[in-house]
Structures are given as C-alpha cells and as structure tokens.
C-alpha cells in the first residue's frame, strides 16, 4: 500500500476563548483532490495554517509520507513540498508580479526566474505579466500569481483556501482545468470551500468540519449538495423559497445616470448608472468585488456626498444631495458591507448600536434626550426576532461573531419597517442557517410592499433571492433583466466584462 | 565670486550631511514599516556620546563609532517597546525624543565648554588642488563621503538586492511577509537599529565635525527635518540627497541672512523646510500611484504574529 502523502492525527489547536480544532484526523492520498468542507468558523483555515507551518498545533501528529514531522514555519512546509494559496492573498501590492514570485522562492537570479515564470504560466494556461504592479491587478490575476509561485516550487501538495470566492464562473472553470492538470501529474490538492457543487464536481474525497471537530468523511459525488450541506451545518437547510411577486408600478428607488468618482486610492468610479426598484421587487446587483459596488453603495447611502452627475429619487423625492439621515427619514434603510466600522461601532454596546440608525426614525429622541429604555426594548426585540446570539443587550458589537452581528444589523434595519432596504453582501461570511433567516426576512419585508436592492458577489444568492438582476463591472451597470430570463453564464460573462459593450452578452443569452 | 560659490557649496554640504545620515536611517526604518519619531533624540544621544568618546580617547574614529553605537542603543529601546511590546509607535517615538534630549543634557553636563580637535577636511595632493572642482569633489571631511556612500549603498540595497526586496515587502504587507515565512519582527529590529546607528552618526557629525563642541540640544530640530525629508523624498534615496542639499541650503541661507542683517526674522527661515515638506506632500498626494508605489503601506502599524 502506498503511504498517504499527508496524514493528520488528533490535531488540536486552542485559541484564547475557543477550541479552533479539536482532535482532527485527515488523510490525503497522492494524486487526490481532497475537499475540506465547513462553515465559516468551523476551523478549516486554522487547520491548513498548521499544515503550512503558519500556526503550530497544541496537540497531535503530522505525518508526511508516513513519517512523523514537525512543520515549524512556512519555509519548512515549502521545503517538504507543500504550497499554499491563501484566501486573503499574501501579496505585496506595491511590488511587481515578478518580485512577488521571487519573494516566495529561495534567492535566485531575477532574469532566470522571469523565464521560468513565463514558462510555468504558459504550461498551465495562467496568463501573467511579470512587470505589472499587483495593486493594478484583478483578483483573478492576483490568484494566478499565488498559484504560479506555488507551482514554481514543484509542490507535492497544493492547498487552496476558498479559491473561487473571488472569481467569476468563467475564471473558476479555468482554475478547475489547471487543478485537474496538476492532479494528473500526481500532485495532491487540499481544496477548502463551502461551495458544494464545486466540491462535488472536483473533489474525490471530502473531510467535513463543524465547530472545530471532524464530523464526517465522504466521497462528494456520492452525496447531494443538500446532504453535504446538512453534514456541514448539522441540520436541515431550507433552500430559498420561490415567492409570488406582487409586482407594482410604484417606484421606491429611481437612480438615473448616476456618476460618482471614487474617494478611494484604487476605487472604481461609477459611471452613468440607471435603474429603478419598484415596490414588491428585489433587484440584485451581481459583480466581482471592486467593480464599483462600494462606491454605488456609498452614493446610495449618501455618506460620500452628492454625486458628480445624475440623480437619486427615494419615494419620489429627490434625494441626490441629501445626507444619510435625511434619506433614512424618507423611508430608506441601508446595510453596508463593512460590519465593523460602517454598519456598527465595535466598542459600543448593541443598545447603542441600535440607537445609531433607528434613533430618529423610531422616535427615540425627544427634546434632544434619548429614551434609553425604549431603545433597550427595541434591541431586545431585534435579538429575539433575529435569533442573535449575544451575551446580552449591552454586549459590545465586537464580541459578536460575524454572522450574529450581521443578523443584528439586518434586524435593526428591517424592524424599522422601511419602504426601501439597500443591502450590500447580506450574507457574506454568515453561516447557512443565518443566511436563510436573513433572506427570509428580506423577502417578508418585500412581500409587504417594500422594495429591496441587494448587492452581492454570491450568484446563488442573487438568483435565489432576486426578481431582477443587473451586473456591475468596472463601474458600469448592465440593464436589469428579470431573473427568469437570464442564465448564470450570461451573468458570469458580464461580471468579467471589460467594458460596456458586452451588454450584448445579455441580449444574446 | 567663484570663491563665494565654492564656499557656499562646501558649507551646504556640511549642513546637509547630518540630514543625509539621519534621513537615510529613517528611510530604511520606515521602509520596513516602522515610524520612529525619535530621530531628534537619537541624534542628541549620538552627539553627546560621540563627543565624550573623543574627549576621553582623543580618537575621532572612536567618536564616530561611539555615536553610532549610542544611536543603536537608543533605537533598540524604541524597538523593544514598539516591536516586542507593541506600544504605539508615534507615542513611543515622541517619548524617545524627549528621553534623548534629557539624557544627552544630563550626560553632557561635564562636557559643556570643552573643545576637541575637529575632524578635518581631507586633502589629496593634486586632486584637491584642482581649480574649482578640486575642493568641491575632494575637499570635504571624510564623514561627508561616508554619508554619500551609505546613501548610495542604501539605494542599491533597496533596488537591487534580495534583502532590500524583503525589507520593502515587510513594509508593504507585514501579514503577507509573515505568511510567506519572513521573520517580520527581526527584520524590523534590524531596520530600527540601522535607523538608530545613522541618527547617532548624524548627531556625532554635529559634535565632531560641524561644530566641534557639545551644547545642550545642539541638533536644533535637525532630527525633525530629517523626518520631514524622508516624506519629502517620498521614500526614495536619490531624492534624500537632493532634499538634504535643499534643506541644508536653507539652513545656511538662514544663517547668512541673519548675519547680513536682512529684515526677515530667523523663525521664518526655519519654517521653510517644513513648509516645503507640506507643499511636497500635497503635490505627491495628487498622484496616488506614486504614493502607492513608494510609501510603505504598513507604516506605523503594530504587527503581532499569531502562533
């Protein structure tokens, strides 16, 4: 019998306040794509960081080709033949592609490396420009740098941490091709993901983690996405329910020819964006991060001041030059992408945080005095209705997990019974159960006549939740189309579109 | 007239040299992502210990070494507090300046009023005697050549060597550098120590070559100018030389203007380097690409490696 390439036995890692990994076993055979499945916070990243020597296990044993070893740091992991592509890339933005690759390899001549880099990149169909600076590159290109620099070390085991979370469907397909080539050469891949269809299509084996423990081992093709999800979450998950759309001609949000320059160093200017959201309608805006979503959201909330041109009407009133609080007074609420720092203040209590956006709308202030007991009751209501797990109403926002904080923030806005809810990445980093709850609440609100605008990178969410779909790419928004009339592929093409011209892709879809 | 121009260039160079030393050190330190505002303090410590060493031993070379070592010692206090204990870099740097001012005044009490032999300009027969260029190229004191050599080496180090690339990487993203496996903290310690050594040298230059005596607070704000100079140069060594000459020139101008009895109060002249820095900051901040490429993204941020 061929010994396993990598075997973990009884790995344990404890962080202050939580057991990140508890008694985990994992075996990877040569030439296998092994999936590591689990929800956010299940301990996947911690586990692979120990394999890659970034973290050290508190207990347990790591065997490489049958021999017990200790991996002290990433350099020794690389020396063994373990390469890793991080979810949050470990790249240097102010340096070139070539320099970024060179930094991860032992010292060598840069000119020779350039030749090698181009050769390897071509071999695996990974397009790269050695002299371009990283800050200038798309997420897909950045990932290719990470992969190529791993490949240049001739790894036996390649670890990929949620590689497709930043890619278009087309970019993902290219990645899968590359991965299959690698496996055909006898290399092994440890593939971390929570996208189940992907795992079923790609991986031969799967290890499922939940709450820091290994709960199951399975062969993904023998499972359904539903059964994998249940193993991951530990209970049944209801898919997003279809609903009857009470279509209405009442306009809640009208954005016309909106152009706004980005305030950020490398932000994307939004150009000539036009769309309308009616009562009883959910408009989804898909797109890869960094294509103007942040700027669009800021223009809609009003936090970065009036736009350069165009107009925003909320409830038939011109809100183009209004401040955020005035827009809220018109009946709009906003859930921005950044939970800490934008949606919530980390070192304020939940009560104080709920006051921040609801104070004026919910009438918690009289003659300049805050009625804290009313805010307190309101906060309790949010925690109950949205099943927010916190130590209490006076818990600090920073003490909540990402998913719980998101439930709190969405709840805080929805309970204000708005006419319009604008929400960016509603379920990013939220576990499946909480995501379903958030979706249900948004749908419930819309069923009662409100309108919703959902900006999301998650195509499953966009297709499952929205009635109309538009795609934002490089600051341009495609014309919204009914969800039933377009395909994932067409949306994917638009997401990767380099200019406005590819609006044709939708027409042909 | 020619004589006047040559004399001006010579004095501008002597005024620029302490700035070149200190700014080169701070540039390396900042490139690694550490903002050390204690340059002024480290210069004073370097100045007084350099002076003391020469007073005791009579050997200028030992004075130079003593100045650099004292600077390293001071910077390592800063390094320990900010890198190992993760204290705030701005506050700690300011504290270092106050500490350095006090320590140098205390230690320097017995040296006030003493004189030593100045480090003399070199004289190479024939070469130095060449008309005009002779003195400009071959007539400075050895430390000026050392400063320019170190600056050149620094430019080469950052651009051409792997170690320089790693240093830039640590300043650009400490998280990424750690993930790849570079010892972020150790690299930063080294950069901080280099910054200290250079600030110490700059201080020693003041008390050994510029004016061969010790006076309390004799660096007179040059540490702050060096800090401004790093930003002025947008973290590029070549521009440090240019900026140091410019700021050095302003210093000389200020002295001459005072001597000539111009009606401009000296305070206005001393403001000039800082005004120039603010103007440059505004100008370069219009070009976001340049900032992105040169300014270390992690500047001033504490880094704690998970284990």
pLDDT of A426: 87
Q: Which domain, by its residues, includes B274? A: 2-294
A168 pLDDT more than 80: no
Contact B294 A94 (CB under 8 A): yes
- Whether B286 has its CB under 8 Å from any CB of chain A: the answer is no
Contact A75 B181 (CB under 8 A): yes
Q: Please indicate, yes or no, if residue B304 is contained in any of the structural domains.
A: no
pLDDT of B287: 66
* pLDDT tens-digit map of A26-73: 999 999 999 998 876 688 888 998 999 888 899 999 999 989 999 988
**Residues A291/A457, Cβ–Cβ less than 8 Å:** no
Q: Is the Cα torsion angle A9, A10, A14, A20 positive or negative in sign?
A: positive
A266 pLDDT more than 80: no
Contact B176 A89 (CB under 8 A): yes
Q: Give the C-alpha separation, A64 to A47, whole Å.
A: 15
Determine the residue among B31, B32, B181 to mutate to test chain A binding: the one whose Cβ has the most chain A Cβ atoms within 10 Å: B181
Q: Measure CA A267 to chain center.
A: 18
Across chain B, what does the average pLDDT equal?
A: 89
Q: Please indicate, yes or no, if residue B249 is contained in any of the structural domains.
A: yes
Q: Please indicate, yes or no, if residue B307 is contained in any of the structural domains.
A: no
Across chain A, what does the average pLDDT equal?
A: 85
Mean pLDDT of the A138-158 span: 86
pLDDT of A288: 80
What is this model's ipTM?
Answer: 0.84
CA distance B176 to chain A (A): 4
Mean pLDDT of the A262-280 span: 84
Determine the residue among A21, A71, A92 to mutate to test chain B binding: the one whose Cβ has the most chain B Cβ atoms within 10 Å: A92
pLDDT of B146: 95
Contact A95 B172 (CB under 8 A): yes
Q: Give the C-alpha separation, A37 to A229, whole Å.
A: 9
Mean pLDDT of the A243-253 span: 74
| In chain A, residues 79-98 whose CB comes closer than 8 Å to chain B | 86, 88-95
HEC string of A367-384? CCEECHHHHHHHHHHHHH
* pLDDT tens-digit map of A194-208: 777 888 888 999 999
Contact B307 A55 (CB under 8 A): yes
* pLDDT tens-digit map of A393-419: 888 888 887 778 888 999 999 999 999
A180 pLDDT more than 70: yes
**Range scoring the smallest mean pLDDT among A84-88, A211-215, A279-283:** A84-88
pTM: 0.75
Which two structure tokens, joined as six digits, stand for A350?
A: 């939940």
- Whether B168 has its CB under 8 Å from any CB of chain A: the answer is yes
CATH number of A6-233: 3.40.50.300
- Whether B166 has its CB under 8 Å from any CB of chain A: the answer is yes
Contact B176 A107 (CB under 8 A): no
CATH number of A251-348+417-508: 3.40.50.300
HEC string of B218-240? CCCCHHHHHHHHHHHCCCCHHHH
The number of domains in chain B is 1
- pLDDT tier at A507 (50, 70, 90 boundaries)? very low
User: In chain B, whose CA is at the least distance from the CA of A99?
Assistant: B165
Mean pLDDT of the A124-151 span: 84
Q: Give the C-alpha separation, B226 to B22, whole Å.
A: 6
- Whether B177 has its CB under 8 Å from any CB of chain A: the answer is yes
- Whether B169 has its CB under 8 Å from any CB of chain A: the answer is yes
* DSSP-based three-state secondary structure for B115: strand
3-state helix, strand, coil in chain B (%, to 5): 75, 0, 25
A79 pLDDT more than 70: yes
User: In chain A, whose CA is at the least distance from the CA of B288?
Assistant: A265
pLDDT of B290: 65
**Residues A171/A140, Cβ–Cβ less than 8 Å:** yes
**Residues B21/B205, Cβ–Cβ less than 8 Å:** yes
Contact B307 A266 (CB under 8 A): no
- Whether A133 has its CB under 8 Å from any CB of chain B: the answer is yes
- Whether A75 has its CB under 8 Å from any CB of chain B: the answer is yes
pLDDT of A369: 92
A3 pLDDT more than 90: no
* pLDDT tens-digit map of A321-379: 999 989 999 999 999 888 877 889 988 999 999 999 988 888 899 888 999 999 999 99
Determine the residue among A50, A78, A103 to mutate to test chain B binding: the one whose Cβ has the most chain B Cβ atoms within 10 Å: A103
- pLDDT tier at A499 (50, 70, 90 boundaries)? very low
Q: Which one of A86-90, A483-487, B1-5 scores highest in mean pLDDT?
A: A483-487
Q: How many CB pairs under 8 A join A and B?
A: 64
Q: Give the C-alpha separation, A464 to A458, whole Å.
A: 10
What's the CATH code of the domain at B81? 1.10.3470
Contact A266 B169 (CB under 8 A): no
User: Among partner residues B165, B168, B180, which is closest to A74 by beta-carbon distance?
Assistant: B180
Task: Kindly give the parts of chain B with pLDDT less than 50.
Answer: none
- Whether B292 has its CB under 8 Å from any CB of chain A: the answer is yes
User: What is the DSSP-derived secondary structure letter of residue A302?
Assistant: T
CATH 3.40.50.300 region(s) of chain A? 6-233, 251-348+417-508
User: Among partner residues B180, B293, B306, which is closest to A94 by beta-carbon distance?
Assistant: B293
User: In chain B, whose CA is at the least distance from the CA of A107?
Assistant: B162
Q: Give the C-alpha separation, A373 to A255, whole Å.
A: 38
* pLDDT tens-digit map of A205-246: 999 988 888 988 899 888 887 888 888 877 766 666 665 655
pLDDT of B204: 96
Contact B180 A103 (CB under 8 A): yes
CA distance A508 to chain B (A): 39
HEC string of A401-437? CHHHHHHHHHHHHHCCCCCEEEEECCCCCCCHHHHHH
């Amino acid at each position: 019998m061929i010994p396993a390439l990598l075997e973990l036995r009884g790995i344990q890692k404890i962080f202050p306040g939580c057991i990140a990994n508890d008694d985990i076993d994992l075996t990877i055979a040569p030439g296998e794509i092994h999936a590591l499945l689990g929800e956010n916070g299940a301990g996947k990243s911690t586990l692979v960081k120990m394999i890659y020597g970034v973290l050290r296990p508190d207990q347990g044993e790591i065997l490489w080709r049958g021999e017990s070893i200790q991996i002290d740091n990433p350099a020794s992991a690389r020396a063994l033949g373990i390469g890793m592509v991080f979810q949050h890339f470990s790249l240097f933005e102010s340096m070139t592609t070539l320099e970024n690759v060179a930094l991860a390899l032992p010292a060598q001549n840069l000119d020779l490396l350039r030749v090698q880099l181009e050769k390897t990149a071509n071999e695996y169909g990974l397009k790269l420009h050695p002299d371009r600076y990283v800050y200038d590159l798309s997420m897909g290109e950045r990932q290719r740098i990470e992969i190529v620099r791993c490949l240049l070390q001739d790894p036996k085991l390649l670890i990929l941490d949620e590689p497709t979370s930043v890619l278009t469907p087309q970019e993902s397909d290219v990645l899968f091709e590359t991965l299959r080539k690698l496996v055909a050469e006898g290399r092994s891949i440890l593939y971390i993901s929570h996208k189940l269809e992907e795992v079923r299509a790609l991986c031969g084996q799967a290890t499922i983690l939940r709450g820091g423990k290994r709960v199951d081992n399975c062969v993904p093709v023998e499972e359904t996405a539903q059964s994998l999800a249940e193993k991951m979450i530990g209970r049944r998950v209801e898919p997003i329910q279809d609903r009857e759309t009470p279509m209405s001609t009442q306009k809640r949000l009208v954005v016309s020819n909106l152009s706004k320059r980005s305030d950020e160093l490398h932000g994307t200017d939004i150009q000539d964006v036009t769309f309308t959201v009616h009562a009883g309608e959910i408009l989804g805006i898909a797109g890869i991060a960094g294509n103007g979503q942040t700027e669009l959201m800021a223009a809609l909330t009003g936090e970065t001041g009036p736009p350069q041109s165009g107009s925003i009407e909320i409830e038939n009133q011109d809100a183009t030059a209004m401040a955020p609080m005035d827009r809220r007074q018109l009946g709009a609420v906003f859930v921005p992408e950044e939970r800490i720092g934008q949606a919530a203040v980390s070192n304020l209590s939940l009560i104080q945080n709920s006051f921040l956006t609801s104070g004026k709308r919910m009438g918690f202030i009289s003659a300049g005095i805050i009625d804290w007991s009313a805010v307190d009751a309101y906060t309790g209501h949010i925690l109950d209705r949205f099943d927010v797990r916190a130590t209490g109403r006076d818990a600090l926002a920073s003490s909540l997990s990402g998913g719980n904080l998101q439930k709190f923030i969405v709840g805080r806005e929805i309970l204000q019974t708005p006419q319009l809810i604008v929400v960016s990445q509603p379920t990013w980093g939220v576990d499946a159960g909480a995501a379903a709850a958030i979706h249900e609440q948004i749908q419930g609100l819309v069923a009662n006549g409100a309108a919703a605008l959902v900006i999301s990178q998650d195509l499953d969410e966009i297709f499952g939740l929205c009635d109309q779909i538009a795609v934002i790419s490089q600051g341009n928004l495609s014309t919204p189309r009914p969800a039933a009339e377009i395909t994932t592929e067409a949306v994917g093409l638009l997401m990767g579109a380099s200019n406005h011209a590819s609006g044709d892709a939708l027409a042909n879809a | 007239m020619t004589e006047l121009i040559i004399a001006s260039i010579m004095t501008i160079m002597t005024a620029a040299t302490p700035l070149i030393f200190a700014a080169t050190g701070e540039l390396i330190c900042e490139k690694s992502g550490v903002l050390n505002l204690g340059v002024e303090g480290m210069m004073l410590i370097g100045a007084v210990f350099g002076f003391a060493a020469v007073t005791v031993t009579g050997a200028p070379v030992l004075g130079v070494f003593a100045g650099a070592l004292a600077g390293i010692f001071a910077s390592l206090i800063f390094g320990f507090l900010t890198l190992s204990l993760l204290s705030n870099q701005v506050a700690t740097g300011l504290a270092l300046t106050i500490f350095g001012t006090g320590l140098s005044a205390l230690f320097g009490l017995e040296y006030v009023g003493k004189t030593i032999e100045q480090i003399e300009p070199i004289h190479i027969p024939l070469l130095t005697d060449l008309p005009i260029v002779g003195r400009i190229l071959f007539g400075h004191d050895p430390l000026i050549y050392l400063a320019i050599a170190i600056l050149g080496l620094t430019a080469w180090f950052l651009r051409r060597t792997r170690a320089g690339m790693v240093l830039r990487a640590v300043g650009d993203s400490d998280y990424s550098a750690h993930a790849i496996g570079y010892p972020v903290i150790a690299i930063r310690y080294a950069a901080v120590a280099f910054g200290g050594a250079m600030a110490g040298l700059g201080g020693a230059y003041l008390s050994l070559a510029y004016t061969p005596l010790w006076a309390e607070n004799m660096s007179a704000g040059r540490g702050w100018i060096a800090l401004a100079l790093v930003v002025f140069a947008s973290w590029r060594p070549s521009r440090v030389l240019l900026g140091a000459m410019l700021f050095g020139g302003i210093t000389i101008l200020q002295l001459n203007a005072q001597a000539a009895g111009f009606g401009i109060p000296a305070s206005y002249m001393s403001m000039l380097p800082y005004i120039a820095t603010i103007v440059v900051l505004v100008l370069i901040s219009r070009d976001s690409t340049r900032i992105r490429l040169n300014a270390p993204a992690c500047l001033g941020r504490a880094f704690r490696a998970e284990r």
